[in-house]
Structure 1
Amino acid sequence: MPSIDGHAGWTREKFPYAESGIPNTNASWGYYDLHVAVSYDIDVWGGIRRGIEREAALRDAVAAQLQAAYLVLTANIVSTAINAAMLSREMEEQQRLVTFEEEYLRTVEAQYQVGAASATDVALQRTQVAEQYALVPNFRARFFNARHALADLVGSFATDARIPAIDLDQLTLPAELPLGVPSTLLEHRPDIRQATADLHAATAAVGVAEAARLPTFMLSGAWGDVAAHAAEFAVPGNGMAALAAQIVQPIFQGGRLLHNQRQAEAALSASAEHWRAVVYSSFRNVADVLTQIAGDKDAFDADVVAERAASQALSLAQKQYRLGGISYITVLTTETAYQRTLITLIEARAARLSDSAALFVSLGGGWWNRHDNPVLPDRIVPLDGSVPQ
């Protein structure tokens, strides 16, 4: 597009005439200047067009970088929420097991009173209750740490009561998690789009550098009035107009333009290698996630079988102990095994949820389906630290 500028000014000058051969003589005068200047660079070699193309590509790269940052943020929120739900469930199960152990302690103490259990059995059960109870504060601390991290990620304070509790049972997996995906889905990954835009900008920069070594063509002109007094504008004889055409060809600049072009070409090669590295890394990331999904599914299925077997073994051991068929040490061993399998199953469920989130992230997160603006927050925390209502 052409450039159009309006100029308005007043100038006062004093000029000595010694240069014209009349010494000790000078004169001063003032004048008003009001005109419009127009200039247009004729883009013969496409340097301006490539410059606009480069800036547009850089804009796309920053937009992809923004989407990548938003994707990382949402992925961290999801993983932290899953972790908080897992720890909440583990804490509940641990408290339930403590209650279960306390009930058995009362049973063993009653059996000891009638001579059906030994003092060793009582001491062992008290130890078991203490050990199980000691695990509750650990789960509680990890749970609240996860809650605090979640509050931080969503831009709130750790004590914000508006962050809801998350139930692990309310988090559901997709009907099926694929073991393979089409490679075209990776085109939506923000890191690939950013690398592609950077490569595009690098190619345009080469065109700009090439055009800078060729002749430039410019048309310029001006139209307006110059008068000694403001009231004399538009008086015949005060009008001014100018029209110029210019061609500039760089002849010698110490090799600067040549090396600028070589620098742009080297930057293009680096951008191409970076793009290739990003693509390879993206394929590896998706392959790792798909491998993890397959492995965690097998581990989850095995943990389900183990939890059911441990639960059945515990139930049988409790019945046999009440009938006097086994010792209490066997019951304690069975209880410990059940607790471990139960906690492992909860962690396996959380791992599968995290795997599904990781798969969505590795495929770009679906950001292209968004219709809102993720840049603008819905509320701003004032600098004084107060929370807006």
Structure 2
Amino acid sequence: MNKHSYPLGIAALMLAGCMNMQPKYERPAAPIPAQWPATADAVQKQATAPAVVGWEQFFTDPDLKKLIRQALENNRDLRVSTLNIEKARAQYQIQRADLFPKINATGSGTNQRTPAAASTTGSTLLTHQYSANLGFSSYELDFFGRVRSLRDQAVYQYLSTEEAKRSAQITLVAEVANAYLTMVADMESLELARQTLRTQRESYDMTKRQLEFGSVTELTLRQAETSVESARADVAKYMTQVDQDRNALVLLVGTAPEVNLDEMRSLKAVSQTATLPDGLPSTVLQNRPDVLEAERDLQGYNANIGAARAAFFPTISLTASAGVASNELGSLFNGSNRAWSFAPQIVLPIFNAGLNKANLKVAEVNRDISVAQYEKAIQTAFKEVSDSLAQRATLEEQLSAQTALVNATERSFTLSRLRFEKGLDNYLTVLDAQRSYYSAQQNLITVRLSDVSNQVTLYKVLGGGAF
């Protein structure tokens, strides 16, 4: 090499020390429309980004807040997510530590006896060797960014687990809220069934007295009896559902609830939530934790390409130590016993049967797979929000229609009873009217539950609140 080219070689080596072989990361374009479907326009005007509304502001019922708070502290699935974060943080620290030399202090002593038969001098030899050193071994000079790329991949893996935990938190909040609201709705249905049973028993007793006076037939009595038994069966059914709802809620909370779950509640009273403001562009989905998790994974695979590319270049590592060495332990630390070693090593890949090319191809394909998974995550999020908005657009009309139906069937039931009592109609008309009224009341509870569950789902699919 020409002596004038030495400075250029040194400069090139210094530049290589700053080299980063990772591809420049660019967030993939979201493969979704910029706005929600037209059917959602009306309700978009009523909603704000839940990302700025924490769950403690979104939910207003104090008992529900207590249950959510307990679940966030005690739920076992969420605990696993938290432990995964701790593991990812430790893995990042492991990769980061590779950027620095590992310095160790060592002390050693060797005592050896060589018999006369094996000695070059023909007599028995006793040898002693003692040393104390401070140094590092196999420290890689990261000229081509391999170690830094692995460090970056570990960082993104850690950030991905952070987003996974936030996603788990939002899902848990929604599950606790829906389980609680379902239990309250079933409690209302149970109370309605009990009220209906009491009413039917009163009607049955009255019909039985009328039979004794000969004013009705036994057929009428048996028709009244079917209403009693039907209501009794519904009471048993809803008692089972309430118990199962309570068990599901306790499992989600992860410990004994701090609220009395047996206390009767009104769905209308506990279902109040904060309004969700102004229409939002679909790009808000890029801040959803599961979408961010997919993006962190993508960034990690992008960083891994840099490590795979660096494998084509030389690996330079250093081993060095300094200390003292002596044949006598007592004189080990004398000034004249200083010892040192310096052993640089360079490994240049020449032939490995295409291993490095295959590793690079795997890294690039993993990146491409991750791009597709990121795009799929956004598309799934868009569908979930669109479905929730579509349902929300008709729920108000459903509630209005169902309330009107309850009022109409109540009036029909009242009139049919009056006509029966005056002998103008048979009891079968009363029975049909009563069943329609009872069914309409149960369906109203179901629609109310759908309404508030839709609000909870919308809160969840738009990305939830801060934690």
- Shorter chain as normaliser: what TM range? 0.7 to 0.9
Deviations 1:95-143 (A, max 9, x none): 0001011112222233334444333222211221122112211111111
- Say which structure, 1 or 2, has more relative contact order (CA 8 Å, 6+ apart): 2
* Structure 1 segment 205-224 matched on structure 2, within 5 A: 205-224=304-323
| 1:309 maps to 2:408 | yes
Name the aligned partner's letter for residue 183 of structure 2. A
Name the aligned partner's letter for residue 94 of structure 1. A
Distance 1:286 1:146 in 2: 27
Name the aligned partner's letter for residue 38 of structure 1. F
The corresponding residue for 2:154 is 55
Distance 1:36 1:15 in 2: 30
Matched position secondary structure for 1:224:
strand
Deviations 1:59-118 (A, max 9, x none): 112222233333333332222222211111101100000101111222223333444433
The corresponding residue for 1:384 is none
* TM-score relative to the length of structure 2: 0.71
Matched position secondary structure for 2:425:
coil
Deviations 1:251-294 (A, max 9, x none): 22222122111111111111111111111111111112222222
Distance 1:192 1:121 in 2: 63
Which of 183, 200, 206 aligns to 2:282? It is 183
Name the aligned partner's letter for residue 29 of structure 1. T
Question: Cα–Cα, structure 1 residues 95 and 232, in superposed 2: closer, same or farther, change >3 Å?
Answer: same
Residue 237 of structure 1, CA deviation: 1.9
Distance 1:333 1:249 in 2: 90
| 1:76 maps to 2:175 | yes
Question: Cα–Cα, structure 1 residues 43 and 312, in superposed 2: closer, same or farther, change >3 Å?
Answer: same
The corresponding residue for 1:9 is 108
Residue 318 of structure 1, CA deviation: 2.7
Structure 1 runs of 4+ with >6 Å offset: 15-19
Root mean square deviation of aligned Cα: 2.7
Distance 2:268 2:176 in 1: 18
* TM-score relative to the length of structure 1: 0.85
| 1:30 maps to 2:128 | yes
1:32–1:228 Cα contact (<8 Å) kept: yes
Distance 1:282 1:196 in 2: 14
Q: Give the share of equivalent positions with the same residue, in percent.
A: 24
Residue 211 of structure 1, CA deviation: 0.8
The corresponding residue for 2:261 is 164
Q: Structure 2, unaligned stretches of length 5 or more?
A: 1-99
Matched position secondary structure for 1:253:
coil
1:224–1:241 Cα contact (<8 Å) kept: yes
Name the aligned partner's letter for residue 265 of structure 1. E
1:54–1:201 Cα contact (<8 Å) kept: yes
Aligned residues: 365
Distance 1:186 1:293 in 2: 19
Question: Cα–Cα, structure 1 residues 176 and 307, in superposed 2: closer, same or farther, change >3 Å?
Answer: farther
Distance 2:277 2:391 in 1: 11
Residue 48 of structure 1, CA deviation: 1.7
Distance 1:8 1:308 in 2: 92
Residue 313 of structure 1, CA deviation: 1.9
The corresponding residue for 1:278 is 377
Residue 22 of structure 1, CA deviation: 4.1
Residue 28 of structure 1, CA deviation: 4.1
